[in-house]
Amino acid sequence: MRAILIESEGASPRLLEDADESLLTGEVALDVECSSLNYKDAMALAGKGIARTHPLIPGIDLVGTVTESADARFSPGDGVVLNGDGIGESRHGGFATRARVRPDALVHLRDALTPQRAAALGTAGFTAMLAVLRLEDAGLTPADGDVLVTGASGGAGSVAIALLAGRGHRVIASTGRVEEHGEYLRSLGAAEVVDRRELSEEPGRPLQSQRFAAAVDGVGSTTLANVLAQTAWGGTVAAFGLAQGPDLPATVLPFILRGVTLAGINSVECPLPLRERAWAALASELDLALLDSMTTTIGLAGAIPAAQQVLAGQVRGRTVVEVGR
């Protein structure tokens, strides 16, 4: 088994060509084809507090083929995808050629998606779809007005733009690199690209001009506080990230005077029916050419150096990890 292993807290990750497969536990055994490199994976590889047990194979996503199953829902030969559910944090994850997992969060791979494209979506695409579903379940329609996406150049932000634009929403993308990424974000469907400093530099007034009908936020902290203050009456902000920080320097005024809803998006503990709904929507809706345009592919050995680039904000879109090379 080829795998990246974090052997102890504070230890540098190592690529092992013959890792001990007896490390693995779970009712469903898999040959892993692809994983992906997410912000959380980069933090784990850099020793920034994600790994909750050691030794640990990181990788919060995996796509592969069932080789053995003690659960009747899965049979050898089934293509499957798994995001979150503790893999890459408290259970061994996708940065290996083999895996054993719980069946409770495992989803059959849709025919429309190749393993590489499913990995390109990964946790980021899955989270973006959960956020879009949350906004529309709250009643958002394209006629309501602009939808903001913060952290727009990242994987989840990129997919959220494509999904929202594909559903007819007018999307405003917020990024720290307008000149560098503006054309890319417009190619995904953003109608307008704004500098993140408009929202991130300091908390503004508790209530500001009503600018957005809704928002998808992957940044947190001051940015999220200002987004809430600029969300229109009855709007929903779906929040899943904390790239700027976990704090929220805001007041309750947007909630009690404008009826704004702050909806947290948790992809790790998402129940299976919602997982299946989200993956069905991703497989049927997302423009695969757009997905390919935002995807870079690396081998397993490339994941360790690429983690530092992710943490430095130097990677846009999605990075697929082909574990066999």
Tokens encoding 189:
């469907």
pTM for the predicted model, two decimal places: 0.93
pLDDT score recorded for residue 58: 97
- CATH code 3.40.50.720 region(s) in the chain: 124-264
- Please, are residues 29 and 99 in contact by the beta-carbon 8 Å criterion? yes
What is the pLDDT, as a whole number, of residue 312?
A: 87
232, with CB counted inside 10 A (0-12, 13-18, 19+), is: middle
What is the spatial distance between Cα 289 and Cα 316, in angstroms, rounded to a whole number? 16
**Homologous superfamily of the 3-109+294-322 domain (CATH):** Medium-chain alcohol dehydrogenases, catalytic domain (3.90.180.10)
The neighbour count for residue 313, using CB atoms within 10 Å, is 15
Helix (H) and strand (E) counts for the chain?
10, 15
DSSP states of 35-103: EE--HHHHHHHTTSS---SSSB---SEEEEEEEEESSTT--TT-EEEEE-TTBTTTB--SSBSEEEE-S
Residues with pLDDT less than 50, the chain:
none
Is residue 243 within 8 A of residue 175, CB to CB? The reply is: no
Give me the pLDDT at residue 32, please. 98
Judge: domain 124-264, CATH 3.40.50.10800.
Answer: no
Query: What are the backbone dihedrals phi and psi of residue 51, each rounded to the nearest 5 degrees, phi first?
Result: -65, 120
Integer-rounded Cα Rg, in Å, for the chain is 19
> In 208-302, which ranges are continuous DSSP H helix?
221-229, 253-257, 272-285, 288-293
